[in-house]
């Protein structure tokens, strides 16, 4: 991406101040969502977003993010550099104003940014407030300028260090350990985010390097000339596609840029990612509505005019045309109106019209220019319509059956007596043996048990009508009470904790993955609302004399053995049960090996049990993972198994 440093007069007078910075340290969650890992990484996104804004405005071409040896995050760009002259409103330098005043930045006035994706001037000041240490270096006006901060306050006035012919900004920061509960940055998470940003800002180079001592030094460089078209190629790496040529359009309408790419695959799930100013809108918004309206109308018009739909056949529905669809919608606009603090949904009404207009015109042209691929896409949609009608009949049958059976729900469900969803929980248990122990050991007031017979259907490879013919899935749908897919009603959920409890072996892991695939694909709201959990049964029981304890991992076992030993164990000494006199060790391969009391004590008692909540931070990454593990394409799965096989412990064959 070429830089244009003469587009606007970007100086101190373009920095607008709205309010102070004091509330940030008192209530950090209001600004970054949480003080856990999510909030920690949000700091990185905010600093990077400022550099991305420079790139989107045409002033920067390269960004480098470094995880340094000193546990600092370093973000460097070759943009114009934050202004350093005195700001008339604050009496401070423009740099210090931006870093110490909330809502101070170049995104409010007319001379800063036409399009921006950061927190509108909140971002970098919040990062400063929540950092133990921050240093800003600015190459601008022929010099290198520098200023350091501690917990949001300047340690000294801005310094002119030396002459410089470069331009750009470098921010170093170290999160404050008194604020954050987690301080470990996740290399993979940062890598994925920066790769995504490179796709969304075509022509920019983004580098990422890890210099931390405990990590092997890594370096990646991302550059995608194809923009979101390249993004689609990446998402379809392991899938069989219907249209080999990706539909792609990049147009400007009334000062708003609309960039869309789409391609169909032979699977049944939809992956559509909508972005506004490079921010992922998980809840969609007006740009997504415009896209879907145009997609359905255009495909129906083309199908009718080319006799790909018979006269007696009804029009394709929105659900039909989205089966097997992968699409990226990226809009860039001057004044985005988001709903909610997390910017999950775009609200600009005019964007719906613009996206609809661009999609309708260019998609129809694409279909006319690629008739064979158009026929393949319409054929896929027609099959989807036929399956939808079959599924509608199957769904209606299930609901009638569920309503008639009332409290005697199918699938050997042992229901709880409570009718309050907020206190009720459903254990999905592998096998009748474990189901029997769970039914006897549970608290009948609020714990329900649903045993599964064998492995459920792999829903990654099945349409809804085939799924609903599967007895185990049918039982689960009726037990939950929510219906499924587009008919899902979260208000009718009968349990607010749905707990997957399987054996600690390969079969148990497979059943757990099948269930997670089902929830991710067909009950996504249950995961989003935090209702899905995984039970953690113990791996071992250790006994020595009258002492007995359960351990849940190999590390816990080692620690427990050291504590039970009669002698002091050296730190580097390998230890096992044979080296500790009087210790007996029982390995639990299945839940059925435990009696009801043991199962309650270790895995079901709310006071003692370990539950892992299932959450999805990156839907696209999760989609690719489930597709790779559970989809039709064997090679990526084979490569994954070969890569990770050596890391598997306690493999039961």
- CA 599/CA 605 separation, integer angstroms: 9
* Mean of all residue pLDDT scores within the chain: 85
Compute, in degrees rounded to 10, the torsion defined by CA atoms 358, 361, 367, 369.
-110
Nearest to 57 by CA among 105, 89, 17, 18: 105
- CA 435/CA 256 separation, integer angstroms: 57
- Residue % of the chain over a pLDDT of 90: 53
Q: Which two tokens stand for residue 128?
A: 């400063």
Residue-level pLDDT at 398: 60
User: Residue 106's CB: how many other CB atoms inside 10 A?
Assistant: 26
Write out the DSSP string of 154-195: ESS--EEEEE-S--EEEEEEEE-TTT-S-----HHHHHHHHH
Residue-level pLDDT at 37: 92
Contact (CB, 8 A) for 15 and 109? yes
User: Residue 264's CB: how many other CB atoms inside 10 A?
Assistant: 25
User: Residue 238's CB: how many other CB atoms inside 10 A?
Assistant: 18
Could you give the domains of the chain? 12-223 (3.30.565.10), 228-386 (3.30.230.10)
167-198 pLDDT, tens digit each: 999 999 999 999 999 999 999 899 999 999 99
User: Residue 203's CB: how many other CB atoms inside 10 A?
Assistant: 15
Q: Which residues are catalytic?
A: 430, 503, 505, 507
407-425 pLDDT, tens digit each: 446 558 999 999 999 999 9
What angle (nearest 5°) sits at the alpha carbon of residue 454, between those of residues 451 and 460? 105
Helices (H), 110-213: 123-129, 187-200
Pairing of the two strands 256-264 and 325-332: antiparallel
Of 82-96, 126-140, 440-454, minimum mean pLDDT range = 82-96
Residue-level pLDDT at 408: 47
- CA 569/CA 300 separation, integer angstroms: 73
324-339 pLDDT, tens digit each: 999 999 999 988 898 8
Contacts of 568 (CB under 8 A, 6+ apart): none
SS3 589: coil
Q: Which two tokens stand for residue 493?
A: 């959920």
Q: Which residues of 518-538 are buried (b: 16+ CB within 10 A; e: fewer)?
A: bbbbbbeebbeeebbbbbbbb
275-294 pLDDT, tens digit each: 999 988 988 999 999 999 99
Contact (CB, 8 A) for 124 and 50? yes
Contact (CB, 8 A) for 45 and 186? no
User: Residue 396's CB: how many other CB atoms inside 10 A?
Assistant: 12
- 97-111, 119-133, 344-358 — most confident range: 344-358
Contact (CB, 8 A) for 560 and 605? no
- CA 228/CA 330 separation, integer angstroms: 8
Query: In which band, very low, low, confident or very high, does the pLDDT at 621 lie, cut at 50, 70 and 90?
Result: low
**Does the pLDDT of residue 16 top 70, yes or no?**
no
Contact (CB, 8 A) for 76 and 64? yes
Strand order in the sheet with 279-280: 247-253, 256-264, 325-332, 271-276, 279-280
Q: Is 463 exposed, middle or buried (0-12, 13-18, 19+ CB in 10 A)?
A: middle
Q: Which two tokens stand for residue 82?
A: 């934050």
237-279 pLDDT, tens digit each: 878 899 999 999 999 999 999 999 999 998 888 999 999 999 8
Residue-level pLDDT at 99: 92
Element (H, E) at 263: strand 256-264
Element (H, E) at 380: helix 371-405
Strands, DSSP E only, in 418-505? 425-430, 447-452, 497-501
The DSSP symbol for 636 reads H
Contact (CB, 8 A) for 278 and 52? yes
- CA 431/CA 455 separation, integer angstroms: 9
**Does the pLDDT of residue 80 top 70, yes or no?**
yes
Tell me the average pLDDT across 131-146: 96
Q: Which two tokens stand for residue 617?
A: 């931070």
Nearest to 82 by CA among 31, 10, 161, 22: 10
Contacts of 35 (CB under 8 A, 6+ apart): 28, 29, 179, 180, 181
């Amino acid at each position: 991406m070429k830089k244009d440093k003469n587009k606007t007069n970007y100086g101190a007078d373009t920095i607008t101040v709205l309010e102070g910075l004091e509330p940030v340290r008192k209530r950090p969650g209001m600004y970054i969502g949480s003080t856990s890992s999510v909030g920690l990484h949000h700091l990185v996104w905010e600093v990077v977003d400022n550099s991305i804004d420079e790139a989107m405005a045409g002033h920067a071409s390269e960004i480098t993010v470094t995880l340094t040896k000193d546990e600092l995050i370093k973000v460097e760009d070759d943009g114009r550099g934050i202004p350093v002259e005195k700001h008339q409103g604050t009496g401070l330098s423009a740099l210090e104003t931006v870093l110490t005043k909330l809502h101070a930045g170049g995104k409010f006035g007319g001379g800063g940014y036409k399009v921006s994706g950061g927190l509108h001037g909140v971002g970098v000041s919040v990062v400063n407030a929540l950092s133990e240490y921050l240093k800003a270096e600015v190459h601008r006006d022929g010099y290198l300028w520098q200023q350091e901060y501690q917990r949001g306050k300047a340690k000294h006035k801005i310094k002119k260090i030396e002459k410089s012919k470069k331009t750009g900004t470098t921010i170093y920061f170290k999160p404050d350990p008194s604020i954050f509960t987690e301080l470990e940055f996740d290399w993979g998470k940062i890598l994925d985010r920066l790769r995504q940003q490179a796709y969304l800002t075509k022509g920019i180079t983004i580098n990422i390097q890890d210099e931390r001592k405990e990590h092997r030094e890594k370096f990646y460089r991302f550059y995608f000339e194809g923009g979101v078209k390249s993004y689609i190629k990446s998402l379809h790496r392991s899938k069989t596609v219907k249209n080999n040529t990706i539909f792609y359009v990049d147009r400007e309408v009334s000062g708003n840029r609309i960039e869309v790419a789409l391609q169909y695959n032979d699977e049944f799930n939809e992956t559509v990612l909508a972005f506004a100013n490079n921010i992922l809108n998980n809840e969609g918004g007006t740009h997504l509505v415009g896209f879907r309206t145009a997609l359905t109308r255009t495909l129906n018009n083309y199908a009718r005019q080319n006799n790909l739909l018979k006269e007696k056949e009804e029009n394709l529905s929105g659900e039909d045309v989205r089966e097997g669809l992968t699409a990226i919608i990226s809009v860039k606009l001057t004044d985005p109106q988001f709903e909610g603090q997390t910017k999950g949904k775009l609200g600009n009404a005019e964007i719906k019209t613009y996206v609809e207009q661009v999609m309708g015109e260019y998609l129809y042209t694409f279909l006319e220019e690629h008739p064979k691929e158009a026929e393949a896409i319409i054929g896929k949609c027609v099959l989807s319509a036929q399956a939808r009608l079959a599924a509608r009949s199957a769904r209606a049958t299930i609901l009638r059956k569920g309503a008639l059976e009332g409290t005697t729900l199918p699938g050997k469900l042992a229901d709880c007596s409570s009718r309050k969803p907020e206190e009720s929980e459903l254990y999905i248990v592998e096998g009748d043996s474990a189901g029997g122990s769970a039914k006897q050991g549970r608290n009948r007031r609020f714990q329900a048990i649903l045993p599964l017979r064998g492995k459920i259907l792999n829903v990654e490879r099945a349409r809804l009508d085939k799924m609903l013919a599967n007895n185990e899935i049918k039982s689960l749908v009726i037990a939950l009470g929510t219906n499924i897919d587009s008919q899902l009603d979260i208000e009718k959920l009968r349990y607010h904790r749905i707990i997957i409890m399987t054996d600690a072996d390969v079969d148990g892991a497979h059943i757990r993955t099948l269930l997670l695939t089902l929830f991710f694909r067909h009950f996504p709201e249950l995961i989003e609302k935090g209702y899905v959990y995984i039970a953690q049964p113990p791996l071992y029981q250790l006994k020595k004399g009258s002492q007995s304890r359960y351990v849940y991992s190999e590390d816990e076992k080692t620690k427990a053995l050291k504590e039970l030993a009669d002698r002091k164990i050296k730190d580097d000494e390998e230890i096992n049960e044979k080296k500790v006199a009087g210790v007996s060790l029982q390995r639990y391969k299945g839940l059925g090996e435990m009696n009801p009391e043991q199962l309650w004590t270790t895995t079901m008692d709310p006071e003692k049990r370990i539950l892992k909540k299932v959450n999805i931070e990156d839907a696209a990454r999760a989609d690719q993972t489930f597709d790779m593990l559970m989809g039709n394409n064997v090679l990526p799965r084979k490569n994954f198994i070969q890569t990770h096989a050596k890391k598997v412990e306690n493999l039961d064959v």
